[in-house]
Structure 1
């Protein structure tokens, strides 16, 4: 029984240590916290030196998505859903592309150099560049 409790506590501590990072193509410019928030709320659609941006999100219900938005946009998933419904309905913004894994985020970036998304820092490889690390 002690072994099971120890194993579960190690698993939980590893999950808690996960660090979400915003990534883009290797040629994309680094961004700051204000740019990150505005990008992921559809308020800016281009970055200097990168041109038009496509935002790639994780699927609703993904723990990384909830963690990311708590740190970057300050919105819960329910608030995001409401926000994007309004933005799309009024024509102010196009909803982000949603994918269900870090591999799919990286594939979107590989296929579209103007794409930005977020993944766990452990999933970063040479195919992407870390553009910003939220606190």
Structure 2
């Protein structure tokens, strides 16, 4: 019986271990996005914020657990689906893939210092230079 509780507890911990927050540059004039809007941004279909500012999309490596959690939790997609979308856009000449950053710390710095930027980080108390965007259905 204790093993069942341990397994259930571990499963809950694993799901929340890499809970992600969508973050933007502080000047972005949005407080929330729907899943559909977020997908449009990350599939590179939405190029501008409502005020006309160019959206700069940043991601972590496809193998990064935070990226995997973001894709599944926020976009409700698998990471390989995002990769296919970006490859199609790039190889067809219709656009370019998002900028891939090396670490979560680099994500924090780049998004905080790039106008129009959007990215994601692991849920954290240290969000002073970033704006958290709430994702709704």
Which TM-score tier does this pair reach, normalised by the shorter chain? 0.7 to 0.9
Given the superposition, is the C-alpha separation of residues 124 and 10 from structure 1 closer, same or farther in structure 2, using an over 3 Å criterion?
farther
Q: Which residue of 2 aligns with 1:17?
A: 16
Show CA shifts across 1:3-44 (max 9, x none): xxx8xx987754432421110112211222221111011010
Whether the 8 Å CA contact 2:26–2:112 is kept in 1: the answer is no
Q: Provide the secondary structure at the position in 1 that maps to 2:119.
A: strand
Root-mean-square deviation (Å): 2.6
Please give the TM-score of this superposition, normalised by the length of structure 1. Answer: 0.80
Q: Which residue of 2 aligns with 1:3?
A: none
Given the superposition, is the C-alpha separation of residues 123 and 93 from structure 1 closer, same or farther in structure 2, using an over 3 Å criterion?
farther
Q: Provide the secondary structure at the position in 2 that maps to 1:46.
A: coil
Q: What are structure 1's unaligned runs of at least 5 residues?
A: 1-5
Question: For this pair of structures, how many residues does the alignment match?
Answer: 130
Q: What are structure 2's unaligned runs of at least 5 residues?
A: 1-5
